[in-house]
Amino acid sequence: MKMKTLVINEKNVGYVKIFKDEIKDFADFRDYKNLPNAVVEREGTADEYVVFKTFDLSKAIHKKSYLLQERNSWYETASAVNLGVFSSIENALKAAKKEYGELRQDGSRFNYEPIKNPNDVTIYIIEFETDEFGEV
């Protein structure tokens, strides 16, 4: 028997109860146990069901991250000061605005300049893939 693919999916987040009579054989149960977005909370009991705790993988795994830097007005890497790593460009910009005030875009979506800029600095954001080897 083929496993019901719609019982545990990205829309079922939280706890999912599956009655044991719906899981006809060990292969089906093993398929459920090996799902990447579910872990068995309760098995091996006398209950009529198995309980899985499920979670949304899209929120658990960030493929890209954003490094926020302060640089001189020529964007030189020698002057770079790392200010934090963020899960989205929006979060990086929010943190930069909190510290520097309003920003204006300077040529690309990764280059910004504070509107009030007494120290002549620029804000630079580097997008990179997580869990990959390479220069950042």
Instruction: Sort 132 into a burial class: Cβ within 10 Å, 0-12 / 13-18 / 19+.
Output: exposed
Cβ atoms within 10 Å of 26's Cβ, excluding its own: 9
Q: What tens digit of pLDDT does each residue of 26-66 get?
A: 666 677 666 666 666 666 666 676 776 776 666 656 578 89
Question: What pLDDT does 61 receive?
Answer: 61
The one-letter code for the residue type at 20 is K
Q: What tens digit of pLDDT does each residue of 100-124 get?
A: 999 999 888 889 999 988 788 999 9
Delimit the domains of the chain by residue range. 14-59, 64-129
Question: What pLDDT does 100 receive?
Answer: 92
- Predicted TM-score (pTM) of the model is 0.54
Question: What pLDDT does 26 receive?
Answer: 62
pLDDT of 7 strictly over 80 = no
Cβ atoms within 10 Å of 5's Cβ, excluding its own: 9
